[in-house]
Each structure stands twice: as structure tokens, then as C-alpha cells.
Amino acid sequence: MDNKKIGKILAVCKSVKKGTAKKNNDKGIFIKDYGLKDDAHGGKWHRQVSLLGIESINKMRRKDFEIGFGDFAENLTTKDIILYQLVPGTRLLIGKQVLLEVTQIGKECHHNCEIKAKIGHCIMPKEGIFTRVLKGGKVMTGDVIKVMPL
């Protein structure tokens, strides 16, 4: 696996409804065994927090799509880590406190996915990753994200 071990958080996004774009709030509270406070995807399941790299978003931008942070319904937009190359079980430390565990790479799009309907294509099914919160705390835009050794 050829992947950088340190990246940065570019956006912290949430929504009140599943299957919709999320709004960048620049910060959020992550709750152990739940996810991002006040986000539609929070709960006791394996896809509490979604992440997507700017590297993936830029692939769509190069096709002349205007895409902002959260438009693919990702909770965290990152840079400098190729997220979809990680494997389930990988742990990600954000800042000095928040610890996430990768549970799934990619997913099937919702039947009425707002993003796919808007631009005709969604990259979350192949390049987005999903995690559960092992240790909670505050996350802010600009925080460092580290891939922890397996």
C-alpha cells in the first residue's frame, strides 16, 4: 500500500437527513459509539462517520462539476491520505483525541441519491470510507489526521 500516513481535515460536515448533501460547519463533536453529534448518520452501527479525500473530489471537479465540501454527503473531507487504499480495521487519529476505525470502503448509493441525481455520478461508492468512533472529542478544520499502524 502506497499511502501517506498524515493528512489534514479540510471540512467537518453534517446533515439532518440521509441521502442529502451535508453542510460544512468547520467543527463538530464526535461521540463514542455514535458518530458526529446532530448528524443524520449517527447511531449504533458501522457507518457512523464518512470520509472522502479532496483528491477524489478533484477528479469530479476536473470534469467541470462545481462541487463543495459535503456535497457527496461526507462528514469529513481530508487531504493527503488516499482513503480508499486503507483497509477495514485501520485506525485514524484526528488531533490528539478522536479515534476512528475504518469499517467499510465504498458503499452502494441510495436509490434516490441527491448527489447522483444532481450530477449524474457519485464517487462515494468507490472512494468514500466509513468509520465508527472509538474515542470521541472535538474535530475542527485544520486538524491533523494520522493513519495509525495496524
* Domain range summary for the chain, segments of one domain joined by +: 6-147
Q: What is the pLDDT of residues 93-123, one digit of tens each?
A: 999 999 999 999 987 665 556 666 666 666 7
Long-range contacts of 105-112 (CB under 8 A, 24+ apart): 105/129, 105/130, 107/47, 110/18, 110/19, 112/19
Mean pLDDT confidence for 68-94: 95
Residue with cell 473530489: 57
Residue range 6-147, CATH number: 2.40.33.20
CA angle 95, 6, 147 (to 5 degrees): 80
Mean pLDDT confidence for 124-136: 92
Q: What is the pLDDT of residues 26-40, one digit of tens each?
A: 999 999 999 999 999
For the CA atoms of the chain, what is the radius of gyration? 14
- Of 66 and 54, the structure prediction assigns the larger pLDDT to 54
What are the φ and ψ backbone dihedral angles of 116, each rounded to 5 degrees? -60, -40
For the chain, percent of residues with pLDDT exceeding 90: 69
